[in-house]
Amino acid sequence: MSKNQRRNNYHTKAEPKAVGSAFDAYAGDADDEISNAFAAYLKNEDLDQEFERAFEKEVRGEAEGEEAEAEADEKVKPKKSLVQKVMEYLPEDEEDEDELAFLHRKSSEEDEEEEEPEEEAEQEKEDEGLRRFKIGEYVFESFHEYKEAQEDVKKIEVINEELDIQDPEVAIRLYNMIRDGEITFRSPIGKNFFDHVSDIVAAKSVGLLKDKAVVDQAEGAVRYQKYLGMAVITVAVVLFSYFGYREVEDVLNTRRIKQMQTEASKNAAGGGGRASSDQAASLNGEDPFDKSKRKLLKEEDQTLLPEYTELRKKNPDMVGWIRVEGTGIDYPVMQKAKDNSFYLDHDFDKAKDNNGSIFMDYRCDKLNPTTNTILYGHNMKSGKMFGELKEYLSEDYFEKHKKITFNTIYEHRKYEIVAVCLAKVEDATDDSFRYYNFIDATNQNQWDAFMTSVGGLVAHGSMDFQAGDQVLTLSTCNSYIEDGRLFLLAKRVK
């Protein structure tokens, strides 16, 4: 079937049905070899000769007799580009038809039709003007708009004859050609076809993202976000880039932490550390709240533990290291003067990091311990930082993971977890007891208030403390309630 025959055949089919079906009507008729060559041409414009050989072979194969041979010789000419073929859309016998000729032809065709029922005839008479300018379900107000639609239909014919638009790379190339104005449409039919091509590109976007070369084209296409389908690619690319970056960032952070863990373990001297002045006072039977007899230590008189010397040089904000036996909690502990927010979103190197760091409340003292030393960390879904604390909501887990090593940069310390607690951040106007504000008890009443108030928040374990004990609190967020908090209470045992 010749190209003009295909066009004329399509013209007679298109009017009584929806033009949407025209998008793929002729794709199956095209010779496979030519279609493959055209698809290759669309992907690579350097393949002109390959297409010309296939096209010449097809034309000469169809030529029979002198007349067919002459026609073949006429057709075997230097190949026109896809754009040229598409834009030469009108068959010769219709190019000169004006509106009067068109209306006369339509009237003649209608006169030849069988007489319709009176009611239908009246209805059609009312719609006579519109009916004359109709293609499928598309109705046009003027002959000019109707002709533009016909032209678009023929352009779509050529595209579907020559190309496999279901091929992702072909679809993107075609999308770019239409978008850049190399191929133009001037009717709703053409715009609908462009939307159809856009939807094909969007539907194939997940697969395309695996091919960086195609991603580059897709990213260029989705800058024009007026088409909903292409917005899918934008989202996919952004998410791919974002999560890819986050994944790499997490891997690098994990590697840095492991290096610090190795460095700290390699230089560990073992034993070491002195009992804090509070603990010494308690052991000697003195009043644990009488700090007047306490000898305050000065930092300039202290010697850094050897395992933390190099790490401290890298970041002077480091005040210690925490390790919970049997868990993944094994991190340096940071402290920023007068600031409990900096290490919420910064890592050991002070770089922005959503994981943040484990850090000590700025009101606590690494050298002269307060009654309660509070450490904070995010409850990360990945389990990093204090993400594993939620496992302590299982009583069995709590019983098997009670040992904590929390060394300051000057002293080795051991703690034992005695209670798992749940609370919430109270409103500023509420005068209820806040565990995160219990830092240093200066008298028995303050200690008793801590024991009573926090005792009511215990989920597992008990308030197994005595006045004078050094308390360590590990605090993180928890979603059991809005603004919920999960915290572990431990007491120093060494």
Instruction: With cut-offs at 50, 70 and 90, classify the pLDDT of residue 17.
Output: very low
Q: pLDDT > 70: what percent of the chain? A: 56
What was the pLDDT predicted at 459?
93
Q: How does DSSP classify residue 408?
A: E
**What is the pLDDT at residue 141?**
82
Say how far apart CA 321 and CA 313 lie, in whole Å.
Answer: 15
CATH of the domain at 451: 2.40.260.10
The one-character DSSP state at 387 is G
Which pLDDT score is estimated for 3?
44
Q: Are residues 194 and 311 in the same domain?
A: no
Distances (CA, A) of 158 to 90, 153, 154, 184, 350: 11, 9, 6, 13, 61
Residue length, the chain?
A: 494
Residue 169 shares a structural domain with residue 281 = no
In a shared domain, residues 26 and 171: yes
67 within some domain: yes
In this structure, the answer to whether residues 411 and 290 fall within a common structural domain is yes
The top-scoring range by mean pLDDT among 6-10, 151-155, 337-341 is 337-341
**Residue 384: inside a domain:** yes
233 falls within a domain: no
Is there a contact between 179 and 221 (Cβ–Cβ < 8 Å)? Answer: yes
pLDDT in tens, 52-87: 555 555 555 554 555 555 554 444 444 456 666 666
Q: Are residues 347 and 433 in the same domain?
A: yes
Kindly report the number of other CB atoms within 10 A of residue 209's CB atom. Answer: 17
Which of 220-229, 407-416, 478-487 has the highest mean predicted lDDT (pLDDT)?
407-416
Give the pLDDT score at 175.
86
Bridge partners for 475 per DSSP: 376, 487
Range of weakest confidence among 131-135, 148-152, 481-485: 131-135
Same domain, 330 and 456: yes
The residue segments making up the domain with residue 105 are 3-203
Strand partners, 424: 484
Choosing from 174, 203, 232, the residue where a domain stops is 203
484-492/134-135 β-pairing:
unpaired
Q: What whole-number distance in Å separates Cα of residue 84 and Cα of residue 183?
A: 9
Q: Are 374 and 439 in contact (CB under 8 A)?
A: yes
How many whole angstroms separate alpha carbon 190 and alpha carbon 87? 13
- Reported as half-sphere exposure (CB side, CA atoms, 13 A), residue 345 has a value of 3
Q: Verify that 281 and 188 share a domain, yes or no.
A: no
**Looking at the structure, do residues 59 and 143 belong to the same domain, yes or no?**
yes
Q: Are residues 188 and 295 in the same domain?
A: no
Q: Based on the domain organization, do 181 and 280 belong to the same domain?
A: no
- Residue 179 has a pLDDT of 85
Where is the domain boundary, 175, 203, 231?
A: 203
How far is the C-alpha of 180 from the C-alpha of 175, rounded, in Å? 9
Taking only the tens place, the pLDDT of each residue in 304-358 is 999 999 999 999 999 999 999 999 999 999 999 999 999 999 999 999 999 999 9
Mean pLDDT score, 33-38: 50
24 and 121 assigned to the same domain: yes
Q: What is the amino acid identity at position 70?
A: A
What is the per-residue pLDDT for 410? 95
Work out the pLDDT band at 263, boundaries 50, 70, 90.
Answer: low
- The torsion angles phi and psi of 120, rounded to 5 degrees, stand at -65, -35
Together in a domain, 346 and 470: yes
Task: Give the span between the Cα atoms of 455 and 258, in whole angstroms.
Answer: 37
The answer to whether residues 492 and 469 touch, using CB atoms and an 8 Å cutoff, is: yes
* 143 domain-assigned: yes
Position 263 in a domain: no
- Which burial class, exposed, middle or buried, applies to 87 when counting CB atoms under 10 A from its CB (0-12, 13-18, 19+)? middle
Which two structure tokens, joined as six digits, stand for 240? 């791919």
Q: Which position has the token pair 């991603």? A: 215
- With respect to residue 240, please indicate whether it lies within any of the assigned structural domains: no
Answer whether residue 152 is part of any domain: yes
Indicate whether 238 belongs to any domain.
no
Cα angle: 444, vertex 445, 449; to 5 degrees? 115
Domain boundary among 203, 237, 258: 203
Helices (H), 356-438: 395-400
Q: Amino acid identity, residue 198?
A: S
Domain count, the chain: 2
